[in-house]
Amino acid sequence: MDLHRLRLEVGDHPGRLGAVLVGLGRLGIDVVEIDVHSVDGTVRIDDLLIRPSRGIDIPAIAFAVEQAGGRVVEIRAASAHELEDPVTRSMRLTACVIAGAGVGSDDALIAWCAGELVRSELACVVDARVASVRSMAGRAMFGNVAVHGREPVKRLPTADGLAWSLAVPFERAGGRAAVLLTRGSSGFTRTETARVRALVDAIASRVDSATSASGLPSMNVAVGSTHVGD
């Protein structure tokens, strides 16, 4: 069986993740990578990159997790590209920023990098001048706080009509903006929120420096979407 991404929820107590890993090991599953995400202090989300033995199907994996006290959030096929750990991915995306800041659409660069970082399905930058105060991006910008939750997204149809979105505000030469990330599979964690905030702050700082050095005016992009991976 090829690589799979397993996202699961466990109680935030000693030994809970260990029990799940033992159960997966008994089933013949090789855990290639573990990425731990903070949620609320009582539960946490763990992202596992796994390589099941031949003949092990997804229902068997889910059953093993549940028997060990966990809850499966998502299981999906993964590519070899996902062998890249979060730290390496962040460094690669930062290098992309350094190479591309001030060239082309800076907002598109921010959206693409943030979307790649947390593997969102849609990503865009929303300018404060055109954002509705009641929208998720508007609440993030005017409250100066990251906002996440579920909302209808026409471009990302789901079974119940709702998708998970995360809006993270940042400052740039053109004024306040927010990067808006959306995916249908699972919600965004506090760990992912912190990673996106650190990345967009670094990007905004780099873009401002590049714009000042080149003498070019800052580019302001109205509401638009960029498909991650296009």
Q: Verify that 125 and 218 share a domain, yes or no.
A: yes
As a whole number of angstroms, the distance between CA 28 and CA 109 comes to 41
For residue 138, name the pLDDT band (cuts at 50, 70, 90). very high
Q: Verify that 164 and 152 share a domain, yes or no.
A: yes
Question: What angle separates helix 106-118 from helix 190-214, to the nearest 10 degrees?
Answer: 160
**CATH number of the domain that residue 62 is part of:** 3.30.70.260
- Identify which of 184, 192, 136 has the alpha carbon closest to the alpha carbon of residue 156: 184
Q: Verify that 78 and 93 share a domain, yes or no.
A: no
Q: Taking CA 71 as the corner, what is the angle to CA 67 and CA 73, rounded to the nearest 5 degrees?
A: 140
For residue 229, name the pLDDT band (cuts at 50, 70, 90). very low
Q: Verify that 114 and 202 share a domain, yes or no.
A: yes
Q: Tokens 């404060």 identify what position? A: 128
Q: Verify that 55 and 69 share a domain, yes or no.
A: yes
Domain-terminating residue out of 59, 83, 107: 83
Q: Verify that 77 and 114 share a domain, yes or no.
A: no
Tokens (6 digits) for 149: 């939750």
As a whole number of angstroms, the distance between CA 195 and CA 95 comes to 16
Q: Verify that 145 and 210 share a domain, yes or no.
A: yes
As a whole number of angstroms, the distance between CA 183 and CA 6 comes to 16
As a whole number of angstroms, the distance between CA 54 and CA 103 comes to 47
- H/E stretch holding 86: helix 86-100
Backbone angles phi, psi at 161, to 5 degrees: 80, 5
Q: Verify that 99 and 139 share a domain, yes or no.
A: yes
Q: Verify that 127 and 41 share a domain, yes or no.
A: no
Q: Verify that 69 and 92 share a domain, yes or no.
A: no
Domain-terminating residue out of 83, 107, 124: 83
pTM over 0.85: no
Q: Verify that 100 and 199 share a domain, yes or no.
A: yes
- Using one digit for the tens of pLDDT, what is the confidence trace for 26-45? 999 999 999 888 777 778 88
- Using one digit for the tens of pLDDT, what is the confidence trace for 82-131? 778 778 888 888 777 667 654 446 788 889 889 989 889 999 999 999 88
- Identify which of 87, 18, 83 has the alpha carbon closest to the alpha carbon of residue 46: 18
202: domain range?
Answer: 86-227
- Residue 57, class by beta-carbon neighbours within 10 Å (0-12 exposed, 13-18 middle, 19+ buried)? exposed
Question: What percent of the chain has a predicted confidence (pLDDT) above 70?
Answer: 84
| Total domains present in the chain | 2
**4, 53 in Cβ contact below 8 A?**
no
